[in-house]
């Protein structure tokens, strides 16, 4: 009866045709058969589709609700195999990190991880998928602090050679930039095909971050990369703030140019 309207059959397999119907069914079974749905959830669902009931957020897009008594089971499953190549994305690009309640519960869970899990977590802290990259990009400073305490590499890079500092500058997370600089992030670290943090912040026209970078020794005339060699920070800053003499950071640029 449902074939060709909501589902299609291929041999002995049934497939739901409409994505919205699938989302509704997954949400329904997540409510009534939570453990089974969690066990068979892929990376995208683990990262984007679960939602703690305790965060009291809008339940649009048919999320899989995690009851309070199942929160520990959810975290246990997330940390079941820390060595899995998708693990950093599942945990540190998780949609729920935007909610303070969830973030606090995640940090509390990390604080009680057994030593073997901590050892496996630390193995990610110098790799291309280093969690510090994700949380610096998104401005989750509480997790940034935890990862730095676990000796995460301040100058780790992603697949296109962007550092945590560069990503924080790109997304204008001033407090994250300050935190990374206070822990010794290299404000001049960049390679041939990447812009420096100072150039990114100048292009964004973010006065406070530009000041932070200059106060922490950012090179105003880098020569080690293709793009940095041809573009000056003052030129990029002028694109967003004209005239220069009216902005509070002017003194820095008058001194260095």
pLDDT category, 146, cuts 50, 70, 90?
Answer: very high
Question: What are the structural domain ranges in the chain?
Answer: 151-256
Tell me: pLDDT of 112 over 80: yes
Q: Which long-range contacts (CB under 8 A, 24 or more apart) does 175-183 make?
A: 175/139, 175/141, 176/136, 176/139, 176/141, 176/144, 177/209, 177/212, 177/213, 178/212, 179/141, 179/144, 179/145, 179/148, 180/136, 180/144, 180/154, 181/212, 181/213, 181/216, 183/148, 183/154
Q: What is the pLDDT of residue 242?
A: 47
Return the number of other C-beta atoms located less than 10 Å from residue 4's C-beta. Answer: 9
**Stretch 179-193: mean pLDDT, rounded?**
85
Q: Which residues pair with 241 in a beta bridge?
A: none
Name the percent of the chain lying above pLDDT 70: 73
Q: What is the pLDDT of residue 246?
A: 41
Sorted by sequence, the CB contacts under 8 Å of residue 213 that are 6+ apart come out as 169, 177, 181, 187, 197, 198, 201
Q: What is the pLDDT of residue 245?
A: 41
Tell me: pLDDT of 251 over 90: no
Q: What is the pLDDT of residue 40?
A: 85
Q: What is the pLDDT of residue 192?
A: 53
Tell me: pLDDT of 254 over 50: no
pTM: 0.79
Tell me: pLDDT of 11 over 80: no
pLDDT category, 180, cuts 50, 70, 90?
Answer: very high
Q: What is the pLDDT of residue 3?
A: 58
Q: Residue 154 corresponds to which tokens in the numbers above?
A: 């301040």
Of the given ranges (102-116, 151-165, 194-208, 220-234), which has the lowest mean pLDDT? 220-234
Tell me: pLDDT of 110 over 90: yes
Tell me: pLDDT of 28 over 90: no
Dihedral angle at the C-alpha atoms of 28, 33, 38, 41, nearest 10 degrees? -50
Cβ atoms of residues 10 and 34 within 8 Å:
no
**Stretch 176-201: mean pLDDT, rounded?**
85
Condensed to tens digits (0 to 9), the pLDDT of residues 38-84 reads 888 888 888 888 999 998 877 677 788 999 999 999 999 989 888 78
Q: What is the pLDDT of residue 257?
A: 39
Q: Residue 255 corresponds to which tokens in the numbers above?
A: 């001194």
Condensed to tens digits (0 to 9), the pLDDT of residues 157-170 reads 888 888 999 999 99
CATH match of 151-256 with 1.10.20.10: no
> For residues 174 and 212, what is the distance between their CA atoms, to the nearest angstrom?
9
Tell me: pLDDT of 96 over 90: yes
Q: What is the pLDDT of residue 189?
A: 83
Tell me: pLDDT of 232 over 70: no
pLDDT category, 244, cuts 50, 70, 90?
Answer: very low
Per the prediction, the chain carries an average pLDDT of 80
Cβ atoms of residues 52 and 96 within 8 Å:
yes
Tell me: pLDDT of 123 over 80: yes
């Amino acid at each position: 009866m449902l074939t060709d309207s909501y589902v299609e059959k291929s041999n002995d397999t049934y497939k739901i045709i409409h994505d919205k119907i699938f989302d509704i069914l997954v949400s329904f079974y997540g409510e009534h058969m939570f453990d089974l749905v969690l066990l068979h959830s892929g990376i995208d669902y683990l990262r984007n589709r679960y939602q703690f009931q305790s965060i009291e957020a809008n339940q649009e897009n048919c999320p899989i609700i995690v009851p309070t008594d199942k929160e520990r089971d959810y975290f246990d499953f997330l940390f079941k195999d820390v060595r899995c190549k998708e693990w950093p994305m599942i945990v540190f690009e998780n949609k729920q990190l935007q909610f303070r309640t969830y973030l606090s519960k995640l940090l509390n869970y990390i604080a009680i991880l057994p030593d073997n899990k901590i050892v496996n977590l630390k193995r990610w802290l110098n790799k291309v998928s280093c969690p510090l990259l994700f949380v610096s990009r998104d401005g989750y400073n509480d997790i940034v602090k935890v990862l730095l305490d676990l000796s995460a590499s301040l100058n780790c890079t992603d697949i296109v050679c962007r550092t945590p500092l560069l990503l924080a500058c790109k997304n204008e997370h001033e407090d994250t930039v300050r935190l990374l600089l206070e822990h010794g992030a290299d404000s001049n670290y960049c390679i041939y095909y990447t812009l420096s943090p100072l150039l990114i912040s100048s292009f964004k026209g973010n006065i406070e971050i530009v000041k932070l970078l200059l106060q922490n020794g950012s090179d105003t005339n880098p020569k080690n990369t293709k793009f940095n060699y041809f573009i000056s920070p003052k030129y990029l800053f002028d694109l967003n703030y004209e005239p220069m003499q009216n902005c509070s950071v002017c003194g820095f640029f008058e001194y260095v140019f």
